[in-house]
Structure 1
Amino acid sequence: MEASAMESLCNFLSLTVVGLCVIMKVPQIWSAFKAGNTNGISLGSVLLEQCGYSIMLSYSFAMEYPVVNYLETAFLLTQNFLLLGLIIHTRDMLSPKVFIFFVLYMIVYLSIANKFLPEVMMKAVISLNTPLSVSSKLTQILALYRNKEPGRLSAKTWGIAAYGCYVRVFTNLVQTGDPFIILSFSSGAFLNTVIVIMILFYTQQKRTKLY
């Protein structure tokens, strides 16, 4: 395939990811909001995911990668903030510590985005993204395994997440060649798929018990 055709394919796939990620977490957020609880959603998983998204967005912005190659991360970050807000509200966790952590969070990630950190630290930061992403998904997998039921988790949300990771493995192989980002998305694709399978399995088990 010619370079221009490959670039066009990458841009098209990137747009599908961005389009889907605009609504990716909406089913999960809506389910939790409607039920008035966030049962089944691991707070640890969401916090780790938030850190991973923030690193990916701020690092990609700092490195001046094509915007279309990471735009969906901005949408996911926004939706994750809403999900965290729901968790904090439904579990009555609001306290001054939350505001302090938020201020520290903003200082760290604005420093990355504006290249206030030395290059060696920038590379160290992005290298953390893979363990953060893996830890986030493993935390949710363990919570699912312990609970044996999906709660407010949405197979649609995690299915879109898996698709986005598979596409990003391909587009980054073609467009950036960044090994840190490729490894992060590869592990995310596999673990997201595991979570989808577990949600479908436990949902089916729950239905079987009801009948």
Structure 2
Amino acid sequence: MTTITRNLPWFVKDLGVSIVGQKCYVSLVENLDLSDVECIKYSLSKGLGLGIVVGGSIMKVPQFLLIVNARSARGLSLPAYVLETLSYAITLAYSYRNEFPFSTYGENLFLTIQNAIITLLIIYYPSSTPRLTRAHAPTTGRVAVAAIFMILAGLALVSLPRSALAPLQLATLPLSLFSKLPQILQNHRAKSTGQLSAFAVIAQIGGCLARLFTTATEVGDPLVSAGFALALVLNCVLGLQMWMYWGKDEREDFGRIGVAVEEKQVSWQPEAQKVEVIIPPQSPGPKHPSGRKWARKVD
């Protein structure tokens, strides 16, 4: 078997070396040494990291589609998404400037972009259920201002020195806390999760679990690990709320539609009044000298 693994095509070998490194590739692939625990953990971490990066590129797409299809951001907290986007952007800048492996933070790039788009959609679409008799005009001006502010904030993070990014990375801990609390409180008050995507919440729980393992294996930075641990706890709370309030949105929407149809069909109609028309008997008309009655020709 090792004869085959040691003579794999060059592009397969180069891909394997680029992922797990020369040492672990020779140990696990060429020599098939499954007793090398260190390389097995490292390879598993790399595989999980790449999976998270790929998953992060589509994690928020269902949330995006929910908002666009419903043309409403009902149940989504704007402050929560603003703070979460800022937290992702800071972690992205901190990891990039410290030259961490891309597999340990790459999903933050895609999540920052997706969260920024969702934040703009929350501003663009109404955050509450629109009334049937009232049209909501899109606030394109606010969207433009928010987009410009996001671009400027991104440029500011990129231009900051590495020494200034460490305190910002530490600040992602309270940012993670305050980014989830508005959404959690809003769900609790409404007893509903609105347009919140279950796929995104579940994917974030799994991503945080995997990131705790990859960070401990490849990076070992306590600031990054603490951020993922706190995010895991808060995402689990959101997942619990999704389970508690599951199906309530459909019942509310059905009841709202039923009331709207009933109100539309019921209209005020005054009771019809009966009018009696009395036609007096006709008196005999004058007779013609010939003895015939007058007759009128109708053209």
TM over 0.5: yes
Report deviation, 1:11. 0.6
Asked if 2 retains the 8 angstrom alpha-carbon contact of 1:60 and 1:70, the reply is yes
One-letter amino acid matched to 2:74: N
Aligned to 2:166: 123
The Cα RMSD (Å) is: 2.0
Q: Is 1:153 matched with 2:196?
A: yes
Q: Secondary structure at the match of 2:245?
A: helix
3-state SS in 1 of match to 2:192? coil
More helix by share: 1
Segments of structure 1 that go 5 or more residues without pairing to the other structure are: none
Contact 2:97 2:162 (8 Å CA) reproduced: no
Q: 2:218 aligns with which of 155, 170, 175?
A: 175
Q: Percent identity?
A: 32
Whether the aligned pair in 2 keeps the contact of 1:155 and 1:200 (CA below 8 Å) is no
Shift of 1:82: 1.6
CA distance in 1 between counterparts of 2:94 and 2:61 reads 25
Q: Distance in 2 between matches of 1:144 and 1:67?
A: 34
Match of 2:80 in 1: 45
Deviation at 1:123, TM superposition (A): 1.6
CA distances 1:17-48 after superposition (whole Å, capped 9, x unpaired): 12221211111110110000000110000000
Structure 2 gaps, min length 5: 1-35, 127-137, 256-299
The 1:39–1:207 alpha-carbon spacing in structure 2 relative to 1, beyond 3 Å, is closer
Question: Larger C-alpha radius of gyration, 1 or 2?
Answer: 2
- Aligned residue among 37, 41, 44 for 1:9: 44
Q: Who is 2:265 aligned against?
A: none
- Cα offset for 1:100? 5.2
Comparing 201-210 with 150-159, greater Cα deviation is found at 201-210
Of structures 1 and 2, the one with the larger relative CO (CA 8 A, separation 6+) is 1
Q: For the residues of structure 1 that align with 2:148 and 2:211, how far apart are their CA atoms?
A: 33
| TM-score of the superposed pair, with normalisation by structure 2 | 0.64
Q: Which of 95, 100, 106 does residue 65 from structure 1 map onto?
A: 100
Q: C-alpha separation between the residues in 2 aligned to 1:77 and 1:122?
A: 17
2-structure distance, mates of 1:38, 1:79 = 15
Query: Structure 1 length normalisation: TM-score?
Result: 0.90
Q: Is the 8 A contact 2:90 2:165 kept in 1?
A: no
Selected match of 1:102 from 144, 150, 154: 150
Separation in 2, partners of 1:181, 1:142: 26
Instruction: Tell whether the 8 Å contact from 1:137 to 1:191 is kept in structure 2 after alignment.
Output: yes
| Number of the residue aligned with 2:91 | 56
Superposed displacement of residue 200, structure 1: 2.1
Aligned residue pairs total: 206
